[in-house]
């Protein structure tokens, strides 16, 4: 049996075929393909905040991208451009915390990395152009920004990426403080691009979108760790 990797879903008003603006649990298919290509079996986790018992049957967890986290989670007031999804926040905070307590392998992507940082006691910049004075982390709607990241020697992400430093970003918020996590990658503007908890079997957050290129280095490492965890 392949390691089962749960991936959190978005909930958005979506349209397809003859249907318009239905509340829909959805996930960009790139995530599913990235897990499948890496040898895992993806199941999608729509938000549910009653308990985290679904983790009983999972071997690994991916916290996916999406809308902004509620700034109340890190003790801030929402800024004008902050758009939140409280239903996802409640469910994903519970899943992330419980997964880390159980030392289940966890990969956070974009919003998922921000969730890991906030869960570790950190906080976010709510709109990077205000903080950094440039838009290179999200150049235009639907356009990924290509960035050069410097990885911390000896970190997990540095080992996974080899000499490769080029990543594809699409975000307007960023990690201001990673809490108890180690920042193991930064862009030249100083923004954290990778965070990890070296005390865990696999706890990695990346601010870019490795699923878009089915990055087998990162998803492969998650699935391998998940395979070990499940025995």
Give me the catalytic one of 12, 79, 110, 171: 110
Give me the catalytic one of 87, 101, 209, 228: 209
> Using the rule CB under 8 A, is 43 a contact of other proteins?
yes
Q: Are 157 and 206 a contacting pair, CB within 8 Å? A: yes
Q: How far apart are CB 230 and other proteins at their closest, in Å?
A: 11
Q: How far apart are CB 108 and other proteins at their closest, in Å?
A: 19
> Using the rule CB under 8 A, is 212 a contact of other proteins?
no
> Using the rule CB under 8 A, is 131 a contact of other proteins?
no
List, as one string, the DSSP characters of 82-136. --B-HHHHHHHHHHHHHHHHTT--EEEETHHHHHHHHHTT-EEES-HHHHHS--T
> Using the rule CB under 8 A, is 141 a contact of other proteins?
yes
Q: How far apart are CB 16 and other proteins at their closest, in Å?
A: 5
Closest-CA residue to 64 (of 117, 126, 7, 105): 7
Interface pick for other proteins out of 38, 42, 129, 163 (rule CB under 8 A): 42
From 46-54, 98-106, 180-188, 191-199, span contacting other proteins (CB under 8 A): 46-54
For the record, the structure tokens of 146 come out as 């290509």
Task: Describe the crossing of helices 29-37 and 216-229 by its angle, rounded to 10 degrees.
Answer: 60
CA distance 15 to 23: 9
Nearer Cβ to other proteins, position 34 or 116? Answer: 34
Residue 169 a catalytic site member: no
Residue 127 a catalytic site member: no
Classify residue 140 by its DSSP letter.
B
CA distance 25 to 12: 7
CA distance 54 to 48: 10
Number of residues in contact with other proteins, rule: CB under 8 A? 43
The residues that touch other proteins, with contacts defined as CB under 8 A, are: 1-2, 4, 6, 9-20, 22-29, 31-33, 36, 41-46, 48, 50-51, 53-54, 56-57, 141-142
Residues catalogued as catalytic: 110, 209, 211
């Amino acid at each position: 049996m392949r390691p089962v990797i749960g991936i959190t879903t978005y909930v958005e008003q979506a349209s397809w075929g003859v249907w318009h603006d239905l509340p829909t649990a959805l996930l960009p298919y790139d995530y599913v393909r990235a897990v499948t290509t890496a040898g895992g079996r993806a199941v999608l986790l729509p938000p549910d905040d009653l308990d985290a018992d679904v983790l009983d049957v999972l071997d690994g967890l991916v916290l996916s991208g999406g809308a902004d986290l509620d700034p109340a989670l890190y003790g801030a007031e929402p800024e004008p451009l902050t758009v939140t999804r409280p239903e996802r926040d409640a469910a994903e905070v519970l899943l992330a915390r419980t997964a880390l307590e159980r030392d289940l392998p966890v990969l956070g992507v974009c919003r998922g990395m921000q969730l890991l940082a906030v869960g570790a006691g950190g906080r976010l910049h709510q709109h990077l152009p205000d903080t950094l004075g440039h838009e290179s982390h999200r150049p235009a709607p639907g356009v990924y920004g290509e960035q050069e990241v410097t990885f911390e020697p000896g970190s997990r992400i540095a080992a996974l990426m080899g000499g490769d430093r080029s990543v594809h970003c699409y975000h307007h918020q960023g990690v201001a403080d990673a809490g108890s996590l180690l920042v193991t990658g930064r862009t030249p503007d100083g923004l954290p691009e990778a965070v990890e908890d070296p005390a865990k079997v696999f706890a990695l957050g990346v601010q870019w979108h490795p699923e878009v290129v089915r990055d087998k280095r990162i998803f492969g490492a998650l699935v391998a760790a998940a395979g070990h965890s499940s025995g």
